[in-house]
Amino acid sequence: MENQDIQYQPVPVKSFVIVGKDKNASVEKYLTGLLSTYDHLYAFIDKQLMMKSQVVRDLAVELQAMGCPMRAVEATEEAKTMDSVMEMCSWLMDKGADRDAVLVAVGGGITTDMVGFAAGIYKRGVRYVNVPSTLLAQVDAALGGKSGVNFEKYKNILGVIRQPEITFIWPYLLTTLPRRDFLSGAAEMLKTFIIEDGGNYRKAADLFFDMSSEYNMEVLMNGKDEKKTWTGIVEKHMGTLCELIKAAAHVKARIVSRDPFEKGERRKLNLGHTFAHAIETLAQRDGGERFNSHDGTEEVHGVTHGEAVAIGLTLAARLADRYYRNDRNEITALEGHISNDLWDCGIPCFCPYSIEEMAQVMKKDKKAEGGIIHFVLPRSVGEVDVVDLTVEYVCRLMA
Ligand SMILES: NC(=O)c1ccc[n+]([C@@H]2O[C@H](COP(=O)([O-])OP(=O)(O)OC[C@H]3O[C@@H](n4cnc5c(N)ncnc54)[C@H](O)[C@@H]3O)[C@@H](O)[C@H]2O)c1
């Protein structure tokens, strides 16, 4: 048979559900109602989240009442490994999980990545449901079916693409999220809107600016408690936050459903990520010591994924400014615009590594093909191009 006779059917992106902004027992009932349509549930819950969130403990009680076995997940980048995924699979074997099993991931991007990966390989693939509990996972990691673990000090280098049955987004879960993790998600949300939605980019940047100013006023000026203040601010802005989470999730779902296996358009979602992954890899190697400092309110160690994305966004904007000027004789001037917005939102975006240091890692990026990387370059806020460049050329432009 000639190759052109073979029809490839793209896998559709399964549904995501977004529920209201409140703490409302009917939301838990709605979620457990959705889950009760599956017979063989196995839940994996972020250990820290379970300790911090009453809502998640209530959910665990409901799941237990449904006879669902549960396992705690260590949600750290160090534990995001093949060994942890193997342990999840051993546990599923011990519990007698068969091919009808449905795994439920409750946690941030580390948890949904590891559970999604286990679901992709266990008995050649079982179904899974995501209940993301961080802003980053609600707008990005828990949508789109990509999952992966770190391997040999490279980020997410082993993984699969397998769509979740449902991603259940409940913004109220964010009320216990620490400010630093919230801002990491904010960076990922801004990235999404730079790709496709300039109007919501402005709305999100203004919201995070307001939240950051209110926090600084209360904590730095009035000496109020950091954690309580932040929770109050998240609750106060929950309505706008819900709208923005929904809009960002829609952008991602739309792009992924057009290109689920990243053969073309989905590459846009990697805006800033080639630099971000290099930064995370270097930080893992040097123990994150170039990031360790005080930010005025708390001691900062290492770099989170979202913080690396924020730095990656400013570097991508710098590369874009220089590429368009050099190669196309166009002026974009986005670096200042994006880095000022990130700074105003309270998201750190200074890069402590040289382009040469990053280049060594970028050459091993999982998206590098024959020495060429598909770099995503912002042309304006709301529009990006995917341009194939060698790492050497990028180094020359960025020097
Ligand atoms: N698969 C994808 O498409 C994709 C996309 C983006 C990022 N990622 C991955 O996602 C990971 C980052 O995800 P993340 O930022 O969600 O990190 P995470 O899962 O590590 O969560 C961050 C921290 O917040 C805690 N936490 C989670 N929810 C909480 C809550 N509601 N209240 C209090 N604490 C809570 C966790 O215990 C953890 O300490 C990275 O490993 C990254 O590679 C994957």
Cα(258) to centroid of ligand 1, in Å? 26
What are the angstrom distances between the C-alpha of 22 and each of 15, 46, 48, 121, 173? 22, 22, 22, 36, 9
Task: Tell me the domains of the chain and their CATH numbers.
Answer: 7-176 (3.40.50.1970), 179-398 (1.20.1090.10)
Atom of ligand 1 nearest to the CA of 111: 19
**Dihedral of the CA atoms 267, 270, 273, 274 (nearest 10)?**
10
Pocket of ligand 1, candidates 50, 181, 274: which has the most ligand atoms within 8 Å of its Cβ, to mutate? 181
pTM of the entire predicted model: 0.94
Block residue for tokens 């457990």: 32
Of ligand 1's listed atoms, the one at least distance from the Cα of 159 is 1
Interval between CA 46 and ligand 1 midpoint (Å)? 10
The H or E element containing residue 314 is helix 305-328
**Per-residue confidence in pLDDT tens, the chain, 399 aa:** 334 444 444 455 667 787 766 777 678 888 888 888 898 999 999 999 999 999 999 999 999 999 999 999 999 999 999 999 999 999 999 999 999 999 999 999 999 999 999 999 999 999 999 999 999 999 999 999 999 999 987 888 899 999 999 999 999 999 999 999 999 999 999 999 999 999 999 999 999 999 999 999 999 888 899 999 999 999 999 999 999 999 999 999 999 989 988 889 999 999 999 999 999 999 988 888 888 776 666 777 889 999 999 999 999 999 999 999 988 888 888 999 999 999 999 998 899 999 999 999 998 776 677 778 999 999 999 999 999 999 999 999 998
Rounded-to-integer distance, Cα 55 and Cα 33, Å: 16
Angle between the N-to-C axes of helices 355-362 and 273-285, in degrees from 0 to 180, rounded to the nearest 10: 100
Measured from the Cα of 113, ligand 1's closest atom is 1
Q: Whose CA is nearest to atom 8 of ligand 1?
A: 141
Q: Which residues line ligand 1 (CB under 6 A)?
A: 46, 48-49, 52-53, 75, 77, 80, 107-111, 113, 133-134, 136-137, 140-141, 144, 146-147, 156, 173-174, 176-177, 181, 184, 305-306
